[in-house]
Amino acid sequence: MKAVILAAGFGRRMGEKPKGLLKVGGREIIYRNMKLMEENGVDEFIIVTNRQYEGNFKDFLKRSGFKGKVLVNEDPERGNGYSLHIAKEHVNGKFVLLMSDHIFSKEFLEAAITREGAIIDGNPEFVDIREATKVKVENGSVADIGKGLEEWDGVDTGFFILDENIFRVAEELVTKKERVGMSDIVRKAKLKVSYISGLFWMDIDTPEDLKRARHFLIRNSIKGAGDGFVSRYFNRKISTRISELLVERITPNQMTVITFAMGILSAFVVFFSPSLGGVLYQISSILDGVDGEIARASMRTSRFGGYLDSIMDRYVDFAFLLSLAVVHGGATSFWIWTLLAIFGSFMVSYSTERYKAAYGKDVYKRIPKMRYLIGKRDERIFLTMIMILVGWVYALFVVLALITHLRVLATIYLIKKNMED
């Protein structure tokens, strides 16, 4: 399947820039949409723009490696319906049509690409209703469309699944009228309507819109399945704010290294001030969410990134607890508890990762009850900080040892109970 992307507008409210090439969360808007479409079976892209922005889009295509071409609408003032008309000779059969300045979530796009006609949102949560193009539906088709409709059933999402028939309607209008909007074509074609409601999409008209989109992408990038209570109700609130600030300034791998350095630093600081070390350790735990959030929001996830992050987390935990044990010191019994606590902390991670190695699936997704087991890293680190602050270091090792090994036992039990083989 091919996709036509209408990008002939001048983006005047964004300071005369091709809006599709604006970056949100570290990636151009059209990169995001094209990448998601590619993952869902679209293999060629036709971008219709104006003469002025032609070079920008050609550069983009070359840089990003997508298969496609750039067509020029020499008279962009004739409207985006006229831009569609220009693509006529370049598509056949079913194709996707979308606006270059609309941003769609993965969930929206995956659903939309399987539907037909005009995709409309009956319950738009992320757009300014006053600015939106409303659609009145009758018998499953567009009865009327426009910004000023009093009565409407949904909002035009700027995403369509069409076929060649649309070009006959476009042709007819283009020969009769000077200015032809997509709305004119949709109204005249009485396009079929498909509802996709409540999933994230929005159009970018102002710098304020860009910020809102970034905010959403970061919020939506929380993986979550393996998050403990501390992470869910505390760490993530802070890490997402940091991610919003950094997503366009730093790569996920750089962030992984910074977080690792922060964790190792916290272990060193323990020798001078265990309390300060504990606080820094908790800060490193908050930062630990940022690399993943940035990676997912900017479509830069890599398996190696996740791998390295896991290994480094283990080393940070080891370094911190080792420092703490050395500073505290004690008899053989103290060292036994230390060993049990450190070993238990690893076994928590090992017992879940090893599940994924064996079964190929995330244990938290397969066995939702696992989410309620305490002892995850974010919880252990928070507990560590608190117990250092109140001065109970020996007790900390005992508690960590008990929690972690009980958790491993519970994990084995739950897997055994839920297993297929």
Question: What residues form DSSP beta bridges with 70?
Answer: 47
Nearest-angstrom CA–CA distance, 29 and 114:
21
- The correct pick among 258, 279, 322, 410 for binding a second copy (CB under 8 A) is 322
Q: Running DSSP on this structure, what letter comes out for residue 374?
A: S
Nearest-angstrom CA–CA distance, 326 and 382:
20
Stretch binding a second copy (CB under 8 A), from 31-39, 183-191, 204-212, 296-304: 296-304
- The correct pick among 240, 351, 384, 404 for binding a second copy (CB under 8 A) is 351
What CA dihedral angle connects 280, 283, 284 and 288, to 10 degrees?
A: 170
Q: How far is the CB of 336 from a second copy (least distance, A)?
A: 7
Decide if residue 249 touches a second copy (CB under 8 A): no
What element of type H or E holds 50?
strand 44-50
Q: How far is the CB of 326 from a second copy (least distance, A)?
A: 6
- The correct pick among 51, 310, 365, 389 for binding a second copy (CB under 8 A) is 310
Q: Of 95 and 260, which has the nearer Cβ to a second copy?
A: 260
Q: How far is the CB of 268 from a second copy (least distance, A)?
A: 15
Which whole-number Å values give the CA distances from 264 to 281, 295, 375, 387, in the listed order? 9, 22, 21, 19
Q: How far is the CB of 375 from a second copy (least distance, A)?
A: 15
Kindly state the number of chain residues that form the binding site for a second copy, as judged by CB under 8 A: 43
- The correct pick among 15, 62, 329, 372 for binding a second copy (CB under 8 A) is 329
Q: Give the residue from 191, 173, 226 showing the smallest Cα distance to 116.
A: 191
Q: Of 229 and 334, which has the nearer Cβ to a second copy?
A: 334
Query: DSSP letters along 114-153, please?
Result: TS-EEEEESS-SSS-TTTSPEEEEETTEEEEEETT-SS-S
Decide if residue 394 touches a second copy (CB under 8 A): no
Nearest-angstrom CA–CA distance, 201 and 30:
13
89 in Cβ contact with 164 (< 8 Å): no
Q: Of 10 and 343, which has the nearer Cβ to a second copy?
A: 343
Provide the binding-site residues for a second copy, judged by CB under 8 A.
302-304, 306-308, 310-311, 314-315, 318, 322, 325-326, 329, 332, 335-336, 338-340, 342-343, 346-347, 349-351, 353-360, 408, 412, 415-416, 419-421
